[in-house]
Amino acid sequence: MMSNHSSATEFCLLGFPGPQELHHILFAVFFLFYSVTVMGNTVIIVIICVDKPSLAVCVFALLGAMAVDRYVAVCNPLRYNTLMNSHTCISVVIGSWVFGFLSEIWPVYATFQFTFCKSNVLDHFFCDRGQLLKLSCDDTVFTEFVLFLMAVFIIIGSLAPTIVSYTYIISTILTIPTASGRRKAFSTCASHFTFVVIGYGSCLFLYVKPKQTQAAEYNKIVSLLICVLTPLLNPFIFTLRNDKVKYVLRNGVKCGCQLLND
């Protein structure tokens, strides 16, 4: 325990409970997941540098913007290349980065204005803000309430265009006369919808609640979905399901095989 007159400046992360053997297994599993994630995203970056597929950049945008992208692809396919041009994609990516950076300035500043005198042991596998506030000997009610309002604004605000877009998408798909046409239209949205369910479901559970200091055990499990599972699925549920990406990837493999044979 820390003294009432001093504030912790370093924290010890407890990680996951259990014997050393379990820790070794978790390390191997997470290392495998992150290795696959890095290799998958590296392949995508190489493909973009060699042959720029038009949809690959969508993976870097906000989910709300991606929902609008799917709306344009399904409801206005003939205008897709005109509306979702490189200038639009670059603007969305830059806007997402800037918004994400600015939205964290106040929470980080406010969090580290507190005095952490209860302990320096953090029951998590990363420096989670909710668990960090538990260690403060100051009153954190106001900060937690503001964080709750920010989470509502950011998550629900970005979810709104997703809901509106999918409303139009579903109504458009239902008007397609053939079953094959409906399946093809729905397949263009299936990857994004999967990510929406995982991403928004996890974030709603973690952040959209007045009390930020929830039980660490539940927090760890849900955090794994965001920190491990979501990055792992990114290459598979987005770009590697794109026909253009698969075409370029097959060509690259063929060229590599020909060079090895020569």
The pLDDT value recorded for residue 183 is: 83
At 12, which helix (H) or strand (E)?
Answer: strand 12-13
Which regions of the chain are under pLDDT 70? 1-6, 47-62, 208-216, 237-245, 262
Which tokens is 109 given? 């500043």
Helix ranges (H only) for 51-156 are: 63-75, 80-83, 86-103, 105-111, 129-134, 141-151
pLDDT for 211: 61
The pLDDT tens digits of the residues spanning 9-41 come to 777 877 787 788 888 888 898 888 888 888 877
| Predicted local confidence at residue 234, as pLDDT | 73
Handedness of CA 127, 130, 134, 138 (dihedral sign): positive
In angstroms, the CA 220 to CA 128 distance is: 9
User: pLDDT value at position 5?
Assistant: 53
Model pLDDT, residue 168: 86
Cα distances from 244 to residues 54, 62, 182, 238, in angstroms, run 8, 22, 20, 12
The predicted structure's pLDDT at residue 191: 74
pLDDT on residue 174: 86
Distance CA 182, CA 139 (A): 54
Q: Where are the domains of the chain?
A: 38-209+218-230
